[in-house]
Amino acid sequence: MLASFWAEMLKLRNRPAAWVLLLVSLVLSQVFNYLVPYAGYLTADNERAAERILMSTMPENFIPNSIGGFPLFAGALALTLGAVSIGSEYGWGTLKTIMFQRPRRMSVYAGELLALAVAVLAIVVSIFALGALTSSAIAASQSESMDWPPLTEIARGVASGWLILMMWCVLGAMLAFLFRGMALPIGLGVVWILGVENLVNVAAPLLDFAEALQRGLPGVNAGSLVSALGGGSDTPGVNSAVDGTQAALVLVAYAVAFVLIAAFALQRRDVT
């Protein structure tokens, strides 16, 4: 498995698509969490509103700011990462090449998952780090005091962010294994995250069964986890449908299920 992991890391590190996804995640998170609020602050016409907006960009809020986008756009990007890195192995036929090198299918698979887990962690840490940097820059420029959340809180934020993105990432990977490609998984995944989940959210206040359904959806649980860490419910995708612990457990359950389904498909089916 370690051999596969290092091979996988070599591929990911050199893969332009992986860097593009990282870059897009970073740019989007900075734009939505800091650039837009900061512009709003500069142009706000009443003082109290301006003050409130400015406070939202301060270091004390950098955890919810950093993971605010995870249920939606960062999630979609993580899903794309999973779908691209697995799906392209089918497209290029390289899966068969690596499957006759030596390791068993399951150890190749474990190496792939481990590499994705590391890549997702790198994305999460980069978003947090850049957020901290931007936030302290804004605070310094406004001569505001910098109150950082305690380290344990930061660690919890990173772990939760990783859990959310990893769940989406393995969903992408699972779809890629099932459909043996990447186009369909990306399409379906994005429609799910940005379309289906939103429709259920709209229907939830109107229909009882939609509300019950809503509490079980992966995106909704991701949103609830963010909300439990202080994310404002004015952020798209963030909600308080369930409490934080339950949300985390549901996300773990989804991730494990996706991992197992993909393993089953890979183990059983022919590699062509």
Which parts of this chain interact with another protein (CB under 8 A)?
3-4, 6-7, 10-11, 14-16, 92-94, 96-104, 108, 270-272
Nearer to another protein, 55 or 183 (CB): 183
Nearer to another protein, 16 or 150 (CB): 16
Nearest CA to 85 among 125, 54, 116?
Answer: 116
Shortest CB 83 distance to another protein, Å: 17
Shortest CB 106 distance to another protein, Å: 11
Shortest CB 13 distance to another protein, Å: 10
Nearer to another protein, 116 or 166 (CB): 116
**Dihedral of alpha carbons 131, 132, 134, 135, sign:** positive
Shortest CB 8 distance to another protein, Å: 9
Nearer to another protein, 145 or 272 (CB): 272
Could you give the CA distance from residue 184 to residue 88 in angstroms, rounded to a whole number? 12
- 73, HSE (Cβ side, Cα atoms, 13 Å): 20
Nearer to another protein, 100 or 209 (CB): 100
Shortest CB 10 distance to another protein, Å: 5
Shortest CB 215 distance to another protein, Å: 41
Could you give the CA distance from residue 113 to residue 220 in angstroms, rounded to a whole number? 24
Nearer to another protein, 58 or 119 (CB): 119
